[in-house]
Chain A
Amino acid sequence: MERRYVQCDRDKCTGCMICQFICSAAKEGSFNLERSRIHVIQTAPHSVTATACQFCRNHPCIKACPRDALRTDEATHTLKLDKARCAGCGCCIEACPFGAITLDDSTKSVIVCDLCFNQGQPRCIEACPQKALSLYVSRRQQ
């Protein structure tokens, strides 16, 4: 299955968090960095980068979910969450090697990048002033 995700060039990333502002605004309707699907993280003393769901081939999050709330969506190449099933247990958060899944405290369900599939290209890529973000697409077969 095709693998797609937002990738970040850490040499270009300045840590301005505009991607986080824009993501939370687009998805949650307010500027709330905690509820962003993409996060700026420090990788070394003088290195920052932004990470979002990398849509791993082996899907550790899906395997970890005890309630089968997560699945892959063939059409959009993203993870799909069944909110009714999600209990907010956080197993997927622990399993994610990129720290890309966040718990929404108010709804007790998890939030994860959906590549803004219904809005064309991901908003963060459009907004990044340093052009550090881009969409990675791979067609390698599993």
Chain B
Amino acid sequence: MDSYSGKCLAVDLTTRRAEIRALPESLLRSYLGGAGLGTRLLAEWVAPGTAPLSPGNAIVFASSALAGTVAPCSSNHAAVTKSPLTGFLSDSVSSGHWSLSLKRAGYDALIVTGAAESPVYLFVDNEIVHFNTADHLWGRNSQETSEEIRRHLGDDRVRVASIGPAGERLVSYACIDDGYPLSHRGGAGAVMGSKKLKAIAVRGTKAVSVHDRRRLEEASLALHARARTAPAAKRGQSAMLDCLLAINRLGALPTRNFRESSFQGAERLGWEDTAGYRPLKTSACPSCPIACRHLLQVVGGPYAGAAATLDYQTLAALGPLCGIDDMPAILKAAELCQRYGMDTVSTGGSIAWAMESFERGLFTKEDTGQVDLSFGRADALIEMVKQIGELKGIGDLLAEGTRRASAKLGRGSEQWAMHSKGLELSGCDPRIVEDQALWSAVGLQAEPRDCPPCRGSAADLPANAASRNKAREDQAALFASLMICDQMSDCLQDFLSEAATLYGSATGVELSPVELERTGERVSALKKYFNVREGWKRTDDWLPPRLLEVTASRKKAKSGVLSEPKLKAMLDGYYEARGWTAEGLIPLKKVKELRLDDLPAMVKED
């Protein structure tokens, strides 16, 4: 198969050995790459029941067939590991130069297992792997680490993915900074930190040869042209803020830890009011025609000079969720998250939980270091981000994520811990947007950077909510395995056949749209397989109690009444649509149908 190298690099940090292994063609064909291939390899390399932060856990970086080519938004990789935040699978997609380097170094996947005794960083120089000491880098942020490594190695072509101080301190939602600081939810950074692996530097200089270059170029350039027209072009320019305003108008913007679902200060965060900050640069990942990274910089005021790339989810979590309508403060908080290397959505969620606990008197000023931790206090937000990053004061507790923090604090604080399976909820209220309820409760796929209501028309999706969720999940799984960025979804008119063309011209393997659809379902089922193996129960697919309360005002509004029986019925319908059992397990028949039966048996006979 062209484009794939058919090789993976397995690195054991305990024994300091690296080995290049062949990946069978059947595996690549069945799982394509990215999240699919990564999950498959993780299931193989990690024993059931392994603790996420133990040396036994692995972190798999998986590339794809389209990476390193001109196919639109294709320079991505997936980082797959067992999450310290949820205890289940975490697959997060990121994009940028590091992804490109990994592919050009000649690997379809990089598997890291074991743990080093003292800090190390890996330098993958095409075929050669160096284990270098990282003592001098420990404690430094990702940007400094990247600069220092590139300076030391003396080559700008070296690209670095590294963890910040939060990853070293095992903050449960620490992320990996590979040049795009806002990716990797679920604590992959903490897994790297537990392995004492500060960074992975890659120099990839190989060519990527594809099966039919002209056809790939033609198909890609046609998609590039489409990406320049609305709505995708708009997505590039102001998607984030438009999305915020649209969701607020819909009344689905989680505000003050989901106590409310519309935010008075939203207009202040919109494009209309750009006082206090300015756009510094819009940049794109390799081969991306959209350019969604907007670097914004604060001018004047107490946070002058702070600069950060924002996406919708970051804005929603650090802004309205904490009751904050001060853009410079949000930018400062996002910049700090980036410096420490923490996921902004979980950071915002944890701080919102702490703010509510403070207002209810569960935390006092003594706990918070004399900070008035009320909703809407920008200075408190920034101080809390620092405390989490440094594990100081209540930051030590918040670094565990809302699920464990609320279990430790007790006193009813579980009632307002807004998470599903430990992962903090994203910026779209499930009470208002029905699709979001099922998506968040099941939580099989990583959250897109924007929200379902903002995601084009749903005309071609099934009318039934359960089938629609299945279709959305499978499509997301396919995107994450083909490794086409979800930002591209608007530009594809007939997703399956267009994806089949791109894949076929790159690899020479023609998959029919039906086969691709089936692959999406297979990857979804594989993720479920992994979670069941790690102790998933039906009760794990659930939403926080706050979202299921039926209050008088909600009844009066006639919209957004989500209740326990309703969610249960939705889940029943969803498992049925998937062909799973009523307990949400995958029956043997389905396992065979999806050709997952080469994995060790774990699903009970139906």
A residues near B, CB below 8 A?
14-18, 21-22, 24-25, 28-35, 46-48, 126-127, 129-130
Question: B283 on the interface (CB 8 Å rule)?
Answer: yes
> Which residue of B70, B224, B228 is within 8 Å of A25 (Cβ)?
B70
Q: How many angstroms between the C-alpha atoms of A18 and B285 in the bound complex? A: 10
Question: B219 on the interface (CB 8 Å rule)?
Answer: no
Question: B362 on the interface (CB 8 Å rule)?
Answer: no
Q: Is the CB of B283 within 8 A of A21?
A: no
Rounded to whole Å, the gap between the CB of B403 and the closest CB of chain A is 38
Q: How many angstroms between the C-alpha atoms of A15 and B295 in the bound complex? A: 14
Q: Is the CB of A46 within 8 A of B281?
A: yes
Q: Is the CB of B291 within 8 A of A30?
A: no
Given contacts A14-B284, A25-B213, contact A34 B205 (CB under 8 A): yes
- Neighbouring A residues of B287 by C-beta, 8 Å: 16-18, 21
Rounded to whole Å, the gap between the CB of B183 and the closest CB of chain A is 17
Determine the residue in chain B with the shortest Cβ distance to A34.
B205
Rounded to whole Å, the gap between the CB of A133 and the closest CB of chain B is 13
Q: Is the CB of B288 within 8 A of A16?
A: yes
Interface residues of B in 280-336 (CB under 8 A from A): 280-291, 295
Given contacts A25-B70, A29-B213, A31-B68, contact A15 B207 (CB under 8 A): no
Q: How many angstroms between the C-alpha atoms of A31 and B281 in the bound complex? A: 27
Q: Is the CB of B210 within 8 A of A31?
A: yes
Determine the residue in chain A with the shortest Cβ distance to B224.
A129
Q: List 22 A-B contacts (CB under 8 A).
A: A14-B284, A14-B288, A15-B283, A16-B285, A16-B287, A16-B291, A21-B69, A22-B217, A25-B70, A29-B213, A30-B210, A31-B68, A31-B209, A34-B205, A34-B207, A35-B207, A46-B280, A47-B281, A126-B221, A127-B224, A129-B224, A130-B289
Q: How many angstroms between the C-alpha atoms of A22 and B224 in the bound complex? A: 12
Rounded to whole Å, the gap between the CB of A88 and the closest CB of chain B is 17
> Which residue of B69, B205, B228 is within 8 Å of A129 (Cβ)?
B228
Rounded to whole Å, the gap between the CB of A99 and the closest CB of chain B is 11
Q: Is the CB of B227 within 8 A of A129?
A: yes
Q: State the majority secondary structure of interface residues on A.
A: mixed
> What class of interface size applies to chain B in its complex with A?
20 to 34
Q: Is the CB of A32 within 8 A of B207?
A: yes
Q: Is the CB of B283 within 8 A of A48?
A: yes
Q: How many angstroms between the C-alpha atoms of A23 and B70 in the bound complex? A: 10
Rounded to whole Å, the gap between the CB of B414 and the closest CB of chain A is 44
Question: B511 on the interface (CB 8 Å rule)?
Answer: no
Q: How many angstroms between the C-alpha atoms of A21 and B284 in the bound complex? A: 14
Q: Is the CB of B208 within 8 A of A32?
A: yes
Q: How many angstroms between the C-alpha atoms of A25 and B206 in the bound complex? A: 13
- Neighbouring B residues of A34 by C-beta, 8 Å: 205, 207
- Neighbouring B residues of A46 by C-beta, 8 Å: 280-281, 295
Rounded to whole Å, the gap between the CB of A1 and the closest CB of chain B is 33
Please name the 5 residue pairs, one residue from A and one from B, whose CB atoms are nearest each other, closest first. Answer: A129-B289, A32-B207, A14-B284, A16-B284, A21-B70
- Neighbouring A residues of B70 by C-beta, 8 Å: 18, 21-22, 25, 31, 127
Q: How many angstroms between the C-alpha atoms of A80 and B244 in the bound complex? A: 54
Q: Is the CB of A18 within 8 A of B207?
A: no
Determine the residue in chain B with the shortest Cβ distance to A42.
B156
- Neighbouring A residues of B221 by C-beta, 8 Å: 126-127
Q: How many angstroms between the C-alpha atoms of A47 and B217 in the bound complex? A: 27
- Neighbouring A residues of B282 by C-beta, 8 Å: 14
Q: Is the CB of B284 within 8 A of A31?
A: no
Q: How many angstroms between the C-alpha atoms of A30 and B2 in the bound complex? A: 11
- Neighbouring B residues of A16 by C-beta, 8 Å: 284-289, 291
- Neighbouring A residues of B290 by C-beta, 8 Å: 129
Rounded to whole Å, the gap between the CB of B18 and the closest CB of chain A is 24
Could you give, for residues 252-281 of chain B, a 1 whenever the CB lies within 8 Å of some chain A CB and a 0 otherwise? Answer: 000000000000000000000000000011
Q: How many angstroms between the C-alpha atoms of A139 and B221 in the bound complex? A: 33
Could you give, for residues 530-571 of chain B, a 1 whenever the CB lies within 8 Å of some chain A CB and a 0 otherwise? Answer: 000000000000000000000000000000000000000000
Could you give, for residues 65-82 of chain B, a 1 whenever the CB lies within 8 Å of some chain A CB and a 0 otherwise? Answer: 000111000000000000
- Neighbouring B residues of A17 by C-beta, 8 Å: 286-287
- Neighbouring A residues of B207 by C-beta, 8 Å: 24, 28, 30-32, 34-35
- Neighbouring B residues of A127 by C-beta, 8 Å: 70, 221, 224
Q: How many angstroms between the C-alpha atoms of A48 and B179 in the bound complex? A: 15
Rounded to whole Å, the gap between the CB of A40 and the closest CB of chain B is 9
Determine the residue in chain A with the shortest Cβ distance to B208.
A31
Q: How many angstroms between the C-alpha atoms of A141 and B182 in the bound complex? A: 52
- Neighbouring A residues of B228 by C-beta, 8 Å: 129
- Neighbouring B residues of A14 by C-beta, 8 Å: 282-284, 288, 291
- Neighbouring A residues of B205 by C-beta, 8 Å: 34
Q: Is the CB of A18 within 8 A of B224?
A: yes
Determine the residue in chain B with the shortest Cβ distance to A129.
B289
- Neighbouring A residues of B217 by C-beta, 8 Å: 22, 25
Rounded to whole Å, the gap between the CB of B470 and the closest CB of chain A is 33
